[in-house]
Amino acid sequence: MGTNGSTMLEPLRQGLPPVDPTAVSGSASCALPARFEAVRGARSFTRSTLAQWGLDGRFDDVALVVSELVTNALRHALPGEAPRSGAGAGPGSGEPEATVRLHLMRWSSRLVCAVRDPSEDRPGGSFEPERTQENCDLESGRGLFLVDAYSDSWGWHPLAGRLTGKVVWALFMLHD
């Protein structure tokens, strides 16, 4: 996991029992291109990773949250034009490298999915997890409500050091 993962998890440790970054029983990460099709790739990556960890039964909730976090990063956090559909960026394509990254980390009693993006803006603007008739009727803008409803907790923090941007994470407690 390295230093970046340890730094990324620092705010997650606040208010929770101590987490030793060296005690991670599994971690996986993938870079995502600036295309909306990347959401499907993130779900596929999540499915295969959870299957390797024997957590198939958690796929539906975790995949929903991963989908929302990745969609938000692609829609709101990438500089310049909105993500494209169709052929993608990648080595040899002459396009910039992926700037959104999905991290999955597992301990014996918890699973964290985190999405790193280049924006330092707060996710969801002034998101408050309080539902009103007005915001429930909107087609978009419900992503963080879903993250809040399906995960045990979530949060975000700006990156420090050489890395710029932020990490938005969601925690799932694992019960035997």
Q: What is the predicted pLDDT for the residue at 163?
A: 79
Q: What is the predicted pLDDT for the residue at 4?
A: 43
Looking at residue 136, its amino acid is C
Q: What is the pTM of this model?
A: 0.74
All residue ranges of the chain with pLDDT < 50 are: 1-8, 11, 13-17, 87-98, 126-133, 135-139
Q: What is the predicted pLDDT for the residue at 111?
A: 95
Q: What is the predicted pLDDT for the residue at 36?
A: 84
Q: d(Cα 42, Cα 62) in Å, to the nearest integer?
A: 11
Strand 153-158 with 26-32, pairing: unpaired
Q: What is the predicted pLDDT for the residue at 34?
A: 87
Are 89 and 98 spatial neighbours (Cβ–Cβ below 8 Å)? yes
Q: What is the predicted pLDDT for the residue at 29?
A: 94
Q: What is the predicted pLDDT for the residue at 141?
A: 60
Structural tokens at position 126: 């002034």
Looking at residue 100, its amino acid is V
Q: What is the predicted pLDDT for the residue at 151?
A: 96
Q: What is the predicted pLDDT for the residue at 85?
A: 52
Q: What is the predicted pLDDT for the residue at 120?
A: 84
Distance of CA 52 to the CA centre of its chain: 19
